[in-house]
């Protein structure tokens, strides 16, 4: 108990230091458009101070949640990411990680948030709210109304980590998002796993009917990427394409862009 209390107070002190000094470092990971081999956009991610106990995002946001500061932390992260993205002169879409709680809490500030993005030199249409699941949604009606306000302002919407929990399936059905990100578990090894193949094939059929674009996360080799392309999955993201970095590439390597000759596969046994 004492060790837990000491860690909690250490986290509070570190959060105070981060907020007071703005000690957050944006990094960006490209999202590949599979059929063209071009970069469609970037997910804006965050890192804490290099030597901090809150350096990794999972630790950072968990601490913010425990301290009741999740919304304030997420908004600070978004401001940092947007400013840096604009400063780099990066092109394409920008995905911002935001929890449903934050969407609800800042719904009256949509105009101010939009003006901030425009003042940084970005277009609202470039910006996608990527919904994370740091906390469960308890008031679906209020959340839908809040998200509608952002969409009316021109923001696009993505659901993160489909397949990790059941609530994301309900969100897809209710929200009809522009993008759905497929959890890494169902992507890695798809070239060797018939069940994963069928799972993503079914999701792609649903996505086409819903006019939703799928983003496969966690792509780490050319075989999995090739199968995703054969399934018609629109976008891919992962270490094989590029790791998160402070100054992301504007082009991708030949292998991940699909410029190398693809291997011939007999897909019959997976179907």
pLDDT of residue 26: 97
What pLDDT, in 10s, does the model give residues 54-106? 999 999 999 999 999 999 999 999 999 999 999 999 889 999 999 999 999 99
Return the pLDDT at 170.
Answer: 78
Token readout for 136 is: 């469960």
CA distances from 118 to 75, 90, 115, 127, 162 (A): 16, 15, 5, 11, 30
Superfamily of domain 2-270: EAL domain (3.20.20.450)
Cα gap 52→66, rounded to integer Å: 17
What integer pLDDT is reported at residue 135 of this predicted model?
Answer: 61
pLDDT along the chain (271 residues), means of 10: 70 93 95 93 96 93 93 96 95 95 94 98 97 75 93 96 66 90 94 95 94 96 95 96 89 57 39 39
In this structure, what token pair is assigned to residue 169? 């399936």
42 with 85: CB under 8 angstroms? Answer: yes
Inter-residue contact 200 to 231 (CB < 8 Å): yes
**pLDDT score for 8:** 73
Q: Domain spans of the chain?
A: 2-270
d(CA 196, CA 217): 14
Q: Residues 162-176: pLDDT tens digits?
A: 755 545 677 788 889
Using the structure block, give the residue that is written with the tokens 């976008």: 235
- Check residue 173 and give its pLDDT: 85
- Whether the Cβ atoms of residue 77 and residue 62 lie closer than 8 Å to each other: no
112/117 Cα distance (integer angstroms): 9
Model pTM greater than 0.85?
A: yes
Number of residues assigned to the chain = 271
């Amino acid at each position: 108990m004492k060790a837990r209390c000491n860690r909690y107070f250490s986290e509070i002190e570190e959060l105070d230091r981060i907020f007071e000094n703005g000690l957050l470092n944006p990094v960006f990971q490209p999202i590949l458009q599979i059929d063209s081999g071009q970069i469609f956009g970037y997910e804006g991610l965050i890192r804490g101070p290099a030597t901090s106990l809150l350096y990794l995002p999972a630790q950072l946001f968990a601490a913010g949640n425990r301290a009741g500061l999740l919304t304030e932390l997420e908004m600070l992260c978004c401001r940092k990411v947007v400013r840096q993205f604009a400063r780099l002169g990066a092109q394409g879409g920008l995905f911002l990680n935001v929890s449903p709680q934050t969407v609800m809490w800042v719904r009256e500030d949509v105009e101010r948030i939009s003006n901030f993005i425009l003042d940084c030199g970005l277009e609202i249409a470039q910006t996608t709210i990527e919904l994370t699941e740091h906390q469960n949604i308890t008031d679906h009606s209020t959340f839908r109304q809040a998200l509608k306000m952002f969409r009316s302002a021109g923001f696009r919407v993505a659901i993160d980590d489909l397949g990790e929990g059941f609530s994301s399936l309900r969100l897809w059905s209710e929200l009809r998002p522009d993008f759905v990100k497929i959890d890494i578990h169902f992507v890695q090894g798809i070239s060797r796993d018939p069940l994963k193949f069928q799972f993503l094939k079914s999701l792609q059929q649903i996505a086409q009917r819903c006019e939703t674009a799928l983003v496969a996360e966690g792509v780490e080799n050319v075989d999995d990427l090739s199968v995703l392309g054969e399934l018609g999955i629109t976008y891919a993201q992962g270490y094989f394409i590029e790791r998160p970095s402070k100054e992301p590439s504007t082009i991708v390597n030949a292998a991940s862009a699909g410029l190398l000759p693809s291997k011939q596969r007999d897909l019959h046994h997976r179907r």
